[in-house]
Structure formats: structure tokens, C-alpha cells
Amino acid sequence: MSDTIEARLAAAGISLPEAAAPAANYVPFVVSGNMLHLSGQLPMEGGRIAVTGLVGGDVGLEEAQRAARLCAINILAQAKAALGGDLGRIVKVVKLNGFVASAPGFVEQHLVVNGASNLIAEILGEAGRHARAAVGMAALPLNAAVEIDAIMEIRA
């Protein structure tokens, strides 16, 4: 399955970045039994936050969806680091939690987080279909427009 995942990444033109180091006092992932808990990932690209500001204000819907997609790419990068380079160990993405820095009155957080959900399902296939939350926030760390964390079932 890992070969299939790598092929899907290549077909999508995605090269996973180096997994980001924590920005504060936490670890990037925790493995407990057969569950992988990934800390929130920001829309990092080229070593910097690519999309900042409030969605529905400074940031439009399409740019916010791109931010969510970048978060998903970084989730996969963290998962790859946590799993010794083998994304084929992912049995199921159990849940994504999406946090969207939202301007007052913005109510399309679910559409923003689709940027991540669509990518995860595209790359991981059936194993990438997941439960999720899409929540509006007043602000996110480092002024990021989106942050997403993940819970995955994994093989030993």
C-alpha cells in the first residue's frame, strides 16, 4: 500500500516536506497502542506559514482551502516521520479536527476543511475517509488561517 500512496502523491505533484518541529512545549505526535495522534499542523510551505489572517476577511475561501490542503500535506509528512517513513502502516484516518481563523460572520468552515479532507481521501483512498470537526476560531498560532490535527489507526 505504501507504493500506492507514494504513487498517488507523485501523481498529485506532491513531495512531502520534512516534518515540522514543534513550535512550543509539545511533541509532534504520540503513538498509543495502535493509534497515532498528530499535533496540529499549520499551512507551512517552504519553511514559512503560507496563508495568514482571518478567513472571510483577509483570506478568501479558495485560499483557505489551499491552506487546509497544505495542513493535510504536513499531516502526511508528520505521519511519515512517526511511522519510520512507511505511510502504508496507516490503517484508517479516524478523525481530522479543523480549526479555521474566522472573521465575524464567516460560517463556511466546513468548506475550508474540505481542502484537507479531499487531499487525505485522494492520497490514502478508503483508509483516508474520516470523521471530522470544522470549527471557527478567533485566532490561531502565528496568525495561521487554518490548523488541522489528526488521529489515525496504524499497524505495528
In tens, the pLDDT along 63-114 reads 999 999 999 999 999 999 999 999 999 999 999 999 999 999 999 999 999 9
Please report how many Cα atoms fall inside a 13 Å half-sphere around the Cα of residue 27, on the Cβ side. 8
Q: Could you report how far apart the first and last alpha carbons of the chain are, in Å?
A: 15
Band the pLDDT of 3: cuts 50, 70, 90: confident
CATH number at residue 31: 3.30.1330.40
0.95 surpassed by pTM: yes
- What is the domain count for the chain? 1
CA angle 62, 129, 114 (to 5 degrees): 10
Q: Which domain holds residue 26?
A: 2-154
Tell me which amino acid residue 21 is. Answer: A
Beta-bridge mates of residue 98: 134, 148
